Amino acid sequence: MAEQFDAEYDVVVIGGGGSGLSAAVQAAKDGLTCAVLEKEAQTGGSSSFAEGHAAFESDEQEKRGITVTKDEAYWAYLSYSHWRCDPALVSRYVENAATTIKKMRDEVGAHYEDVTITAPDQPGELVTWHLVEGEIARLIELLEADARRRGVDLFMQTAAKKIVMEDGKVAGVVALDSDGEEVRLGAKAVVVATGGYAASPEMLDKYTKYGVGAQMINAGGPGNTGDGINMMLEAGAVENPNIGTVLLFPLMREKTITSHVNCTGMQPYLWVDKNGKRFTNEEAGLNFGNAGDITAGLPGAMYWCIIDQGHINHLVNDGNEVGLGIYVHNYEKMVNLPGEIEADAADENRTNVYKGETIAELAEKIGVKPEVLEAEVEEYNGYARAGFDPKFRKQAKYLRPNDNGPFYAIKMETGIMVSMGAMKIDDRLRALDAQGEPIPGLYCVGCDAGGLFGESYQLTVPGSANGFAMTSGWLSADDIAVRIKAGELV
């Protein structure tokens, strides 16, 4: 017996973030009827937290005299992932990302303020980060308005629960609205764009190697609980081998990413683990993705950044070594740091900033043996004075001694923005079954899709996640339109 639906569409998009809205707008442009199911009260998902997106050989790069070829980008992804990415998918994304810039600017109304990188001292970083005026949050507003103008039906606070299959192909979606009422929408194709599983501790523990899902601080969309992944698995799709890929970064609990104390905790100064021992070359902080991976693997999934008054004076008068996107700019003078860190240290309810007149006093406050931390600081200070770090080979310019009290410890924990491994797809964004065959009518985009990365996020091509989200969205809609016209999806 055929399923009964409340309404019928050519395409139903599950998720109203960057990838989902990109798919919906393009579907409408292609003459398809389209609905978007968004379980939150607003659109955007994790895309709302992004500043820009990657593209290669774009006209925005060209007019600024920036040259990053598609070949360079292609080989960057393959090399960084040790060929664990999907070369065909990477090639298709790289080929079409510049078109995304034109679509968002010329058709949707975005304005690109700059094309840049994230960290000036990060080796090998490509100039691919296309920054949008008003950030991606503004682009989301423009996409939503364009979707509505083009006749897309947006069902807000309506959570998809099941992808309906008939005779081995997609037939529609079952969802629940905010009142708990069932909504049944028929569809020739479904695009899953639910943003991954970064907000699901259980799925983080299942798919990642860290085992600290409950401790991770989710800095992305609260709705990214893996709904789309679970629905696709139920529909017969399979996981990509790199489903555990996540974008992590060091983050202070109960702090915003604009905080100068938080940014200080990521600086390449002296980092010690929960036992008071130095554990890495702190230049890892120049690539917050690398630093996040390291942090998640430490005891307690955290570290302490140890600084003194000399560090504070340097940060205020000279500026930081590395910022955090557009929220704290590279080389920005950290004028808020003195007042903010003193207030944090004086707050008896805060357990992630401590102050000590001596290293021994500081050690006691952070729960490590004073003799251990004193030995680490003494050894590190010797490296700083000599301008050479024989232990971890850190560059001399980042070797600043801790010898001018008072001293401070800033606790950095594991933050997560998005997961990015997810489901196995082909280069047409079609979900694949266990035999490697496309499931008719089932598409997967953005952070629900696997294949762009290896085991970690590639910050050397900044804007990759959002660039892929926006590009994969409209590419999926175009493919659906072609197949509906050809009679393949009915």
Fold classified for 248-416: Flavocytochrome C3; Chain A, domain 1 (3.90.700)
Residue 442 has pLDDT above 80, yes or no: yes
pLDDT in tens, 116-133: 998 888 889 999 999 999
pLDDT band at 97 (very low <50, low <70, confident <90, very high): very high
**3-state SS assignment for residue 291:** helix
SS3 403: coil
Mean pLDDT computed over 227-246: 97
Instruction: Inform me whether the pLDDT recorded for 2 exceeds 80.
Output: no
Q: What is the mean pLDDT of residues 213-241?
A: 96
Mean pLDDT, residues 33-57: 96
How much of the chain is in helix, strand and coil states, percent to nearest 5? 35, 20, 40
Closest CA relative to residue 445, chosen from 27, 79, 55: 27
Asked if 424 contacts 432 with a C-beta cutoff of 8 angstroms, the reply is: yes
From-to residues of CATH 3.50.50.60 in the chain? 7-245+420-485
Percent of the chain beyond pLDDT 90? 95
Q: Whose CA is closest to 408, among 254, 252, 265, 260?
A: 265
| Mean of all residue pLDDT scores within the chain | 96
Q: What is the pLDDT of residue 200?
A: 97
State the CB neighbour count (10 A cutoff) for residue 196: 36
Q: Taking 60 as the threshold, does the pLDDT of residue 154 lie above it?
A: yes
Check pLDDT > 80 for residue 10.
yes
* C-beta separation of 272 from 304 below 8 A: yes
Please tell me what DSSP assigns to residue 229: H
449-486 per-position pLDDT tens digit: 999 999 899 989 999 999 999 999 999 999 999 999 99
Determine contact, residues 139/105, Cβ cutoff 8 Å.
no
pLDDT at 398 exceeding the cut of 80 = yes
**Sequence-ordered alpha helix ranges (H) in 268-324:** 288-296, 309-317
Q: Where in the chain is the domain with CATH 3.90.700.10?
A: 248-416
Count, in order, helices (H) and strands (E) of the chain: 14, 17
CA distance 337 to 234: 50
Distance CA 412, CA 257 (A): 12
Specify the 3-state DSSP secondary structure of 232: helix
| Those residues with Cβ within 8 angstroms of residue 402's Cβ, 6 or more apart along the chain or in another chain | 270, 306, 307, 308, 310, 311, 359, 377, 380, 381
Q: CB–CB of 220/41 below 8 Å?
A: no
The Cα 178–Cα 378 span in angstroms is 59
- Could you say which architecture CATH assigns to the domain 7-245+420-485? 3-Layer(bba) Sandwich (3.50)
Question: Closest Cα to residue 23, out of 57, 4, 47?
Answer: 47
